Structure 1
C-alpha cells in the first residue's frame, strides 16, 4: 500500500509508511493551545491519526464568555498519513519544529486561521513507557514547544484578532489507549490509578515546563522540569529531574487544584512557580473522552458542534476530571526579579491518589 509519505525519506521500517507496526493503539497527534495575556480567552486544537484503526480526527474548542464552543471532525484515514485535513480543519507545516498553521474553514459557526511560532527549540520529554500486567499501556514520545500565536478566531460570526497571545504546542506519537476499548479484559492488567500534571508556562523571556506521571502512592514514574530561555537551541536551558508540585489545594467536590507551587532545584538554590487558575478548559472538548474520543470511528466523514456551559457542568463528574486550568503564574529565583506569566496547569487524576487523600 503506497502513499504520499513513501516519496519522503522518513521510513523507520522496511514497510511502507501506511503501516505503523502491529499495535492497534498506535497514534500520531498534534496539539495546540493559546490564551490571551489575562488568561480569560482560550482555545485548543487537537489533530490525531490512528493508522491501525484507519481513522483521523480533529477538534477545535474555544472559550468565550464562560462557554466552551467545540467543533469535532472525524474521517476514515484511507491509510494516507500525509493528508493533514479532516473536514474543515487542516494543519500546514510552514517550517518544521518552528512554525505551523491551523486553518478551520467555516463550519457549524466556528472558523480560525492561526499561526504558531516557537519561542525556542522544542523540548523532548522522557519517553513514556508503562505496562499494566502483561499489556503495554503506554509507549510514546512527546515534543513540547511554547509559542507565540497570531491570527484570528470566529464564533457565530464574531471574529476576534489573536494579538499578543502565547500558548503551547506538542507532537506525540506511539502507543496509548485510543478508539473503542478492547471487549475482553486482561487478567492482571487493570488500571489502579493514573495521576498526571503538565504545566507549560510562558514568561516574558523564557518558558517553564513541568510534567509528572505518578502512581497512587505519589511515586513518580515519569517527570522532568525545564527552564528554557527564548531562542535556546536543542538541548539548551536548565533540565531538572527532581522538581515537585507542592501546596496543592483541591477545589471541594472536584479533582482540580485551586492552586499549586512548582519548585525546581537550581545550581544557585530553588526556583518557584506559583500557579493560580483563572479559567477551566474541559479536555473532552478536543476528544479526550466523551462521544468524540480520539480514534472513534464515525464513518467516512462526520462533523458536529458541541457547546458546553462551564458554569453549569458538574466539575466533579468523571467526564470532567481531565482539564487544563489556564493560570496566572509568578516565577521567582535567587538573584532575579520576579516575573509574571500565563500558562496551563493540566490535571487528570483517576482512581486513588493518597498524597491528596483521594480514594
Structure 2
C-alpha cells in the first residue's frame, strides 16, 4: 500500500467518496470534485476493443459517462449525461455500472440506444489485487489544481458485444482488461470560468510528454505481477511535473521504481505507440541499483480507442462534468480514427487506450498505454 493513503475497504468500490482518500471526512466544496471509473477491454488478437467510463460530480449535481467499441479503425462512441439528484444510482441513459463483488467482479452494460447501433453486457473479473498509484497532486495557474487518489486493477471479461446487428461472444480466455477508480479534485472538469485571466501554461501548447501505463505479466510458474507507471514532463526549467512507478506483486506488495526510461517508437502520422523497451531502475543492496527491461509491442497497428469522444477534453461542445440538460444522449461513428487530419486538428486526439503485448524475460502479458508526445524527446523515435 501507499503510505499516504488509507487502506481500501469494500465500501471504496462505490462512487460515494467525498475526500481524496478512502472513506474520510468531506473536506471540500470545490466544483471539480470528481469520482470516476474507467475500463479498457481488448481481444488478445487485436480485432476488437471496448471502453467504458462513468463520472459522478457530487458538487455539480451531475453524472455522465461514455461507452464505445472499436473494430479496425472504426470507433463508435455513446455519451450520456443527466442531473444526479434525486436518483443516485449508477445508471445514466443506456449506461449502467453494477458492483457484483467489491474489488473482484463488476458489470458494465450499454443498452440498445438511439445514438449508435452498439450495445453490450459485460462482466469484468479481477485476477490481481487493486493497487494505488501515488497521490496525484498538481499545481497550475497559481492554484492547487488536482488532489486525486487512483487505484487500478487487471482482469478479464466475459459476456457479449453487439455492433450494427452482429453479436460478438466475449470469452474470458481470449480477452484482457484494465480498470481504474479515482476520486478527488481534478483538472478539466466542466468549462473553465469565463471571468479569469488566461492560464500562463498549457500542456497542449508547450513541449510536453506523458505516459500512463498499466500491465499484467504471468511468470512460467503462473504467478502474476505488474509494471505500472505514470509521468508528466515538460521542458526545463519546469521539467518532470509528476512521477509514480511501481512493480506490483499479486501478494499485494508494491515495490517502488526509482526511475522509468521508456524508449518507445511512435507512428509519425498519429503518434501511436508501436513498440519499444521500458527500462525500470530499482533499488538494490546498499548503494547498488538494478535495471529491469520490459519489451512492448502494439497488439494491432490500428487499434487504440480515442478518449476525446469520451469527453476527455472538449468534444462537440461537451466535456465531462458539464450540464447538458436533464437527460442527454449523443454519439457518433468515426470510420478512421487514425486519419492524420484529426491528429493535426487537435493534439488531444493523440490520447488513446493503446493495447500492447509486454515481456520481461520469460514473463509475458498485456498492457495499456495512454500517451502524448509534443516536441522532440530523445527517447521517442518516430517512424
Confirm or deny a common fold (TM above 0.5).
yes
Paired position in structure 2 for 1:294: 320
Task: Classify the secondary structure of the residue corresponding to 1:306.
Answer: strand
Give the direction of change, closer, same or farther, for the CA distance of 1:264–1:298 in structure 2 (3 Å limit): same
Paired position in structure 1 for 2:90: 84
- Post-superposition CA distance 1:258-315 (Å, at most 9, x none): 3332112344832222222222221113221212421122101111221112254533
2:101 is equivalent to residue 95 of structure 1: yes
Paired position in structure 2 for 1:171: 181
- Post-superposition CA distance 1:107-127 (Å, at most 9, x none): 132211111122222111111
Q: Is the 8 Å Cα contact of residues 60 and 321 (structure 2) preserved in structure 1?
A: yes
Q: Is the 8 Å Cα contact of residues 85 and 91 (structure 1) preserved in structure 2?
A: yes
Give the direction of change, closer, same or farther, for the CA distance of 1:353–1:138 in structure 2 (3 Å limit): farther
Alignment: residue pair count: 336
CA distance in 2, matches of 1:256, 1:64: 16
CA distance in 1, matches of 2:375, 2:196: 21
What RMSD over aligned residues (CA atoms) do the two structures have, in Å?
2.9
Deviation at 1:34, TM superposition (A): 0.8
Which ranges in structure 1 are unaligned for 5 or more consecutive residues? 1-7
Paired position in structure 1 for 2:121: 113
- Post-superposition CA distance 1:199-256 (Å, at most 9, x none): 11233333322221223348333323333344x23xx14331322212x233224444
1:36-115 aligned at under 5 Å gives the runs 36-78=43-85, 82-107=88-113, 108-115=116-123
Give the direction of change, closer, same or farther, for the CA distance of 1:294–1:9 in structure 2 (3 Å limit): closer
CA distance in 1, matches of 2:356, 2:16: 41
Paired position in structure 2 for 1:4: none
Give the direction of change, closer, same or farther, for the CA distance of 1:10–1:128 in structure 2 (3 Å limit): closer
1:185 to 192, 196, 205: 196
Task: Classify the secondary structure of the residue corresponding to 2:169.
Answer: strand
Worse overlay, 140-149 or 193-202: 193-202
1:316 to 337, 341, 344: 344
Paired position in structure 1 for 2:6: none
Give the direction of change, closer, same or farther, for the CA distance of 1:11–1:172 in structure 2 (3 Å limit): closer
1:319-334 aligned at under 5 Å gives the runs 319-332=348-361
Give the direction of change, closer, same or farther, for the CA distance of 1:9–1:105 in structure 2 (3 Å limit): closer
2:257 is equivalent to residue 228 of structure 1: no
Q: Is the 8 Å Cα contact of residues 19 and 183 (structure 2) preserved in structure 1?
A: no
Task: Classify the secondary structure of the residue corresponding to 1:191.
Answer: coil
Give the direction of change, closer, same or farther, for the CA distance of 1:313–1:71 in structure 2 (3 Å limit): farther
Paired position in structure 1 for 2:30: 23
2:365 to 331, 341, 347: 341
Give the direction of change, closer, same or farther, for the CA distance of 1:356–1:60 in structure 2 (3 Å limit): same
- Post-superposition CA distance 1:37-78 (Å, at most 9, x none): 123321110100112222211111111132111111111112
